[in-house]
Amino acid sequence: MKSLLPLALLLLAALPAAAAPGDDSLLALSWQPAFCEANRHRAECRDEDPGGFAAGNLALHGLWPQGRGSRAPAYCGVPDEVREKDRTGRWHELPPVPLSPELRREVDRVMPGARSHLDRHEWIKHGTCSGLSADDYFRESVELVEAAAGTRFGRLLTARVGGTVTVAELCEAMRADFGEGFEDSVHIHNSGRNLSEIRILLDEKPGGDFTLGRGGLADGRSRLRCDGSDGRRELRVDPAG
């Protein structure tokens, strides 16, 4: 579990202030070229820059406090009219996220979707439940994306851009990063033949022992499994553009 420690330590400050020890937080990382292949109309995809991401092509989708119970907290203290704008996809009408100029540049670098106001959506729905200021919430998010790029699986994806990787190869790298039993807490998603997203459930333990969340990751989407036919499946690591 040693290789997980830097990633988990970075998450510590992003846990909800009201969360009890053992509560989970979920880091969602998109493979940006795969997203853009299906969303060419989005602002961030019309002039996709192969070298424009801070962590290769791993991009920040979101950092979501999970809390306790069957449903993750959302829209904490957000007025009903703002919730309605978010839920109906009118993200451009949401209030701009108050970030320092320097951090704004970093967020734009790791979250290309900010060009379509994804940052506003993520802050309104999830960040408001983190117990952090917008600056602190997004600073931790930026650091987590960059830390993920330095993991074994992050380096593997970077090395395979323009080619393919098997699910089994990804799982082997993740096992080296996170240890045995990671499968319920780290999910691999695909869009057709393309790798599309990786979601990592992290858990705060008392006494500074940080591990993967073990409650199981129920994210409502199908995921690829490490063994059987899924393990042999080849995923395209789509290049930008």
| Residue-level pLDDT at 131 | 84
On whether residue 53 sits in a domain, the answer given is yes
Domain count, the chain: 1
On whether residue 190 sits in a domain, the answer given is yes
Count CB atoms within 10 A of the CB of residue 175: 17
pLDDT surpassing 60 at residue 13: no
- Could you give the count of Cα atoms lying within 13 Å of 145 in the half-sphere of its Cβ? 29
On whether residue 185 sits in a domain, the answer given is yes
Report pLDDT digits (tens) over 20-64: 434 577 889 999 998 988 888 888 888 765 445 545 689 999 999
On whether residue 186 sits in a domain, the answer given is yes
Residues of the chain with pLDDT > 90: what percent? 49
| Residue-level pLDDT at 194 | 93
Owner of token pair 């022992």: 209
On whether residue 46 sits in a domain, the answer given is yes
Going by their DSSP bridges, the two strands 234-236 and 211-212 should be labelled as unpaired
The Cα–Cα gap between 173 and 178 comes to: 9
C-alpha dist (Å) from residue 32 to 61, 106, 240: 9, 16, 8
Average pLDDT over residues 212-232: 74
The Cα–Cα gap between 238 and 194 comes to: 7
7: helix, coil or strand? helix
C-alpha dist (Å) from residue 218 to 22, 23, 58, 64, 221: 17, 14, 22, 13, 8
3 or 128, which is more confident: 128
pLDDT surpassing 50 at residue 18: no
Residue 73 belongs to domain spanning = 2-236
Listed residue (115, 107, 177, 118) closest to 143, CA to CA: 107
Residue 70's pLDDT band (cuts 50, 70, 90)? low
On whether residue 241 sits in a domain, the answer given is no
Sign of CA dihedral 19, 8, 225, 39: positive
CATH number where 143 lies = 3.90.730.10
| Residue-level pLDDT at 83 | 97
Least confident interval from 44-53, 77-86, 151-160, 189-198: 44-53
Report pLDDT digits (tens) over 170-215: 999 999 988 888 888 888 999 999 999 999 887 654 333 335 665 5
pLDDT surpassing 50 at residue 110: yes
pLDDT surpassing 90 at residue 119: yes
